[in-house]
């Protein structure tokens, strides 16, 4: 038996709900309430409704502009304020509002013109301060810097300039100082978290961010930052889950930061949908261009990658790294010394910078720089220091093994080469030739020979053959050396190949006498010799046969 039923069985719940809603919806929503809850879409709808109904007041347009601006609909705000500025007898301060919209729309020249039409004020100074930063005008930047006053807005504005200029610690100092006396300024925690994120302190960022999220769990900016921290600390999946949650709790008319979210979803899904999402975001979100380049790099589309990045002058660390990588890939592909040189310089600038010299990418850059300079001892110093992070990384192992082999450590080179899984790398001539050399130096010439046999006949296979013939000779691996010289001689009847083959055959004979090769190989020595038409063949064969007879080896 249930004595506590609340929903009436007859009459229906809908009647109850209807009553509730009636009381709720009968009154007109107040603009002020909507503004307090930051429901700018709602506020704007009410304002526009009133305006249409002829109940608008004289500053209704100004309010609509305010709402549009804080909603992030800068285009609409721009239009509203433009009309307001055109009206006769408008307040000159209106130009500042217009200037703010221009600023967010990336129309910096218009923003400056508009700001200068307004009387002096702290907002005007802040605008001009940021605009000088955009124009790279250091002198004016300093002037406006001096005009900043000891008030929250000005100090926070300064902190944001520090952030824009990658001086994150300075920003944090400003925020912490203000926070110390104004605990209620919760938003500053997010700013601090953003700085820590940029400084790669993702766990600290996460901690500071939590303070804000506790009060505002639906903040798009904060949730996005949390997702990015998760991406760095864990993986794309964890990050995606955060953004998904944000999409679930937000209403369909909520579009603030939607570009950021779309962009980051591509990032978190390792580039999925990059071609649909990223191109329109180029020069809107600074990272979009770089991510598209990274996407093309991963697709081995060097032309597209280079086309996107060639015009940009690197300023951020990521830009340096990506320009370096594109130039390195392109330079080696095209054999362009110019590109390689640029790559090497950018690698060095990034890798030797104070902030990056101890990071993994920083060391990857230094190793790459030295690799391009062919200073392989130095390559190894850097790669050794980060190798534990890249045990299964084909690209890393490919470079690492080359450096090992070049510095003479063929044993480890062979091991590392064999860790490579990618078929593309394994069919690369550089891989094949260095692995073959490592085999030979490790006295496994037969494995090198097998690599050669598996290759299609080409200029590269001919080069490999020469390398095998000569390297084996050096290492006293005369059996394979003789076989290789034999093929070389038949491909190109050059007397030098005969000399190599003659020496290798005699060397093999010596090994047989020393008991280091099976005596049955003697028959093959004679066969190899007889492939040549040189008159010396007969004499050498006679001596060898004679020894065979004396030692009872069937030939």
277 CB-near residues (< 8 Å, 6+ apart): 262, 263, 265, 266
466 CB-near residues (< 8 Å, 6+ apart): 484, 488
Taking the complex as a whole, how short is the minimal distance between the CB of residue 547 and other proteins, in angstroms? Answer: 6
Q: Which of residues 78-97 bind other proteins (CB under 8 A)?
A: 81, 96-97
264 CB-near residues (< 8 Å, 6+ apart): 224, 227, 228, 231, 239, 243
Considering only 325, 445, 522, 525, the residue that binds other proteins (CB under 8 A) is 325
Q: Which of residues 94-123 bind other proteins (CB under 8 A)?
A: 96-97, 100-101, 103-104, 123
* 483, 517 contact by CB (below 8 A): no
* 148, 117 contact by CB (below 8 A): no
448 CB-near residues (< 8 Å, 6+ apart): 435, 436, 437, 439, 440, 468, 471, 472, 480
Taking the complex as a whole, how short is the minimal distance between the CB of residue 6 and other proteins, in angstroms? Answer: 20
Rounded Cα gap, residues 267 and 407, in angstroms: 38
Interface characters, 218-237, with other proteins (x: CB under 8 A): xxxxx-xx-xx--xx-----
Taking the complex as a whole, how short is the minimal distance between the CB of residue 4 and other proteins, in angstroms? Answer: 26
Q: Which of residues 252-271 bind other proteins (CB under 8 A)?
A: 252-254, 256-257, 260, 263-264, 266-268, 270-271
Q: Does 489 bind other proteins (CB under 8 A)?
A: no
Taking the complex as a whole, how short is the minimal distance between the CB of residue 414 and other proteins, in angstroms? Answer: 14
Q: Which of residues 400-459 bind other proteins (CB under 8 A)?
A: 402, 406-408, 425, 428-430, 433-434, 437, 441, 443, 452-459
Rama region for 180: left / alpha / beta (φ>0; ψ in -120 to 50; rest): alpha
Q: Does 164 bind other proteins (CB under 8 A)?
A: yes
Considering only 33, 463, 523, 538, the residue that binds other proteins (CB under 8 A) is 463
Q: In the complex with other proteins, which residue's Cβ is closer, 1 or 7?
A: 7
Q: To the nearest 5 percent, what fractions of the chain are helix, strand and coil?
A: 75, 0, 25
> Of the candidates 339, 347, 266, which has an alpha carbon nearest to the alpha carbon of residue 305?
339
Q: Which of residues 15-74 bind other proteins (CB under 8 A)?
A: 17-18, 21-22, 25-29, 34, 37-42, 44-46, 49, 52-54, 59, 62-63, 65-66, 69-72
Q: Does 77 bind other proteins (CB under 8 A)?
A: yes
For 230, what's the count of Cα atoms within 13 Å in the CB-facing half-sphere?
A: 19
Rounded Cα gap, residues 329 and 297, in angstroms: 9
Q: Does 188 bind other proteins (CB under 8 A)?
A: yes
Q: Does 482 bind other proteins (CB under 8 A)?
A: no
Taking the complex as a whole, how short is the minimal distance between the CB of residue 3 and other proteins, in angstroms? Answer: 26
Considering only 75, 165, 177, 237, the residue that binds other proteins (CB under 8 A) is 165
Rounded Cα gap, residues 126 and 108, in angstroms: 14
Q: Which of residues 356-395 bind other proteins (CB under 8 A)?
A: 356-358, 361, 363-364, 366, 368-378, 381-382, 384-385, 395
Considering only 108, 135, 145, 160, the residue that binds other proteins (CB under 8 A) is 160
Considering only 82, 110, 204, 250, the residue that binds other proteins (CB under 8 A) is 250
Question: Which secondary structure element, helix H or strand E, spans residue 45, and what is its range?
Answer: helix 40-52
Q: Does 351 bind other proteins (CB under 8 A)?
A: yes
Q: In the complex with other proteins, which residue's Cβ is closer, 4 or 162?
A: 162
Rounded Cα gap, residues 229 and 388, in angstroms: 23
Considering only 321, 445, 482, 537, the residue that binds other proteins (CB under 8 A) is 321
Q: Does 177 bind other proteins (CB under 8 A)?
A: no
* DSSP structural state of residue 375: -
Q: In the complex with other proteins, which residue's Cβ is closer, 287 or 414?
A: 287
Q: In the complex with other proteins, which residue's Cβ is closer, 5 or 27?
A: 27
* 487, 471 contact by CB (below 8 A): no
Taking the complex as a whole, how short is the minimal distance between the CB of residue 546 and other proteins, in angstroms? Answer: 8
Rounded Cα gap, residues 525 and 547, in angstroms: 13
Interface characters, 529-548, with other proteins (x: CB under 8 A): -----------x--xx-xx-
Q: Which of residues 285-304 bind other proteins (CB under 8 A)?
A: 285-288, 290-291, 294-295, 297-298
Taking the complex as a whole, how short is the minimal distance between the CB of residue 199 and other proteins, in angstroms? Answer: 12
Q: Does 473 bind other proteins (CB under 8 A)?
A: yes
Rounded Cα gap, residues 416 and 407, in angstroms: 14
Number of residues that bind other proteins (CB under 8 A): 224
Distances (CA, A) of 271 to 236, 268, 323, 524: 11, 7, 19, 57
Taking the complex as a whole, how short is the minimal distance between the CB of residue 514 and other proteins, in angstroms? Answer: 6
Read off the tokens for 353: 């910078």
Interface characters, 129-158, with other proteins (x: CB under 8 A): -x-----x-x-------------xxx-xx-
Q: In the complex with other proteins, which residue's Cβ is closer, 4 or 459?
A: 459
Rounded Cα gap, residues 464 and 410, in angstroms: 17
Read off the tokens for 479: 């059996």
Taking the complex as a whole, how short is the minimal distance between the CB of residue 2 and other proteins, in angstroms? Answer: 22
Read off the tokens for 151: 């008030």
Rounded Cα gap, residues 351 and 343, in angstroms: 12
Taking the complex as a whole, how short is the minimal distance between the CB of residue 351 and other proteins, in angstroms? Answer: 7
> Of the candidates 392, 394, 366, 393, which has an alpha carbon nearest to the alpha carbon of residue 381?
366
Q: Which of residues 199-218 bind other proteins (CB under 8 A)?
A: 212, 216, 218
Q: Does 339 bind other proteins (CB under 8 A)?
A: no
Q: In the complex with other proteins, which residue's Cβ is closer, 4 or 136?
A: 136
* 410, 442 contact by CB (below 8 A): yes
Read off the tokens for 396: 């890393």
Considering only 31, 471, 479, 537, the residue that binds other proteins (CB under 8 A) is 471
């Amino acid at each position: 038996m249930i004595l506590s039923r609340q929903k009436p069985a007859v009459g229906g719940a809908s009647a109850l709900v209807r009553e509730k809603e009636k009381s709720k919806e009968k009154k007109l929503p107040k603009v002020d309430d909507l503004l307090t809850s930051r429901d700018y879409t709602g506020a704007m709808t009410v304002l526009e409704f009133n305006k249409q109904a002829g109940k608008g007041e004289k500053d209704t347009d100004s309010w609509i502009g305010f709402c549009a601006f804080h909603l992030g609909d800068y285009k609409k705000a721009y239009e509203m304020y433009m009309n307001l500025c055109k009206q006769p007898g408008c307040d000159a301060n209106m130009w500042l509002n217009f200037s703010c919209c221009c600023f967010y729309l990336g129309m910096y020249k218009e923003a400056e013109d508009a700001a200068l039409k307004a009387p002096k004020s702290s907002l005007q100074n802040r605008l001009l301060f940021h605009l000088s930063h955009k124009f790279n005008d250091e002198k004016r930047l300093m002037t406006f810097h001096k005009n900043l006053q000891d008030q929250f807005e000005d100090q926070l504005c300064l902190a944001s300039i520090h952030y824009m200029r990658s001086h994150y610690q300075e920003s944090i100092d400003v925020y912490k100082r203000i926070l110390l006396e104004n605990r209620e300024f919760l938003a500053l925690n997010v700013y601090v978290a953003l700085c820590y994120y940029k400084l790669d302190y993702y766990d600290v960022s996460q901690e500071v961010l939590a303070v804000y999220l506790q009060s505002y769990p639906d903040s798009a900016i904060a949730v996005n930052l949390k997702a990015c921290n998760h991406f760095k600390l864990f993986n794309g999946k964890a990050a995606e889950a955060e953004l998904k949650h944000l999409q679930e709790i937000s209403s369909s008319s909520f579009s603030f930061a939607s570009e950021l979210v779309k962009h980051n979803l591509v990032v978190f899904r390792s580039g999925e949908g990059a071609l649909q999402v990223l191109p329109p975001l180029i020069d809107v979100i600074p990272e979009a261009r770089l991510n598209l380049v990274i996407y093309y790099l991963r697709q081995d589309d060097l032309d597209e990658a280079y086309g996107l990045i060639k015009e940009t002058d690197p300023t951020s660390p990521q830009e340096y790294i990506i320009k370096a990588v594109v130039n390195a890939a392109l330079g080696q592909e095209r054999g362009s010394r110019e590109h390689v040189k640029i790559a090497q310089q950018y690698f060095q600038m990034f890798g030797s910078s104070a902030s990056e010299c101890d990071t993994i990418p920083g060391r990857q850059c230094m190793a790459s720089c030295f690799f391009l300079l062919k200073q392989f001892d130095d390559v190894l110093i850097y790669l050794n220091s980060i190798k534990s992070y890249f045990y299964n990384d084909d690209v890393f192992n490919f470079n690492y093994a080359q450096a090992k082999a070049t510095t003479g450590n063929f044993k480890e080179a062979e091991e590392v080469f064999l860790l490579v899984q990618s078929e593309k790398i394994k069919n690369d001539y550089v891989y094949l030739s260095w692995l073959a050399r490592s085999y030979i130096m490790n006295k496994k010439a037969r494995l090198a020979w097998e690599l050669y046999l598996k290759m299609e006949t080409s200029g590269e296979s001919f080069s490999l053959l020469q390398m095998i013939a000569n390297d084996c000779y050096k290492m006293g691996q005369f059996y394979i050396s003789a076989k290789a010289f034999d093929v070389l001689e038949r491909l190109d009847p050059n007397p030098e190949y005969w000399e190599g083959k003659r020496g290798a055959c005699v060397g093999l004979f010596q090994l047989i006498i020393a008991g280091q090769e099976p005596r049955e190989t003697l028959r093959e020595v004679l066969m190899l010799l007889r492939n040549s038409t040189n008159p010396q063949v007969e004499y050498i064969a006679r001596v060898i046969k004679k020894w065979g007879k004396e030692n009872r080896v069937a030939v």
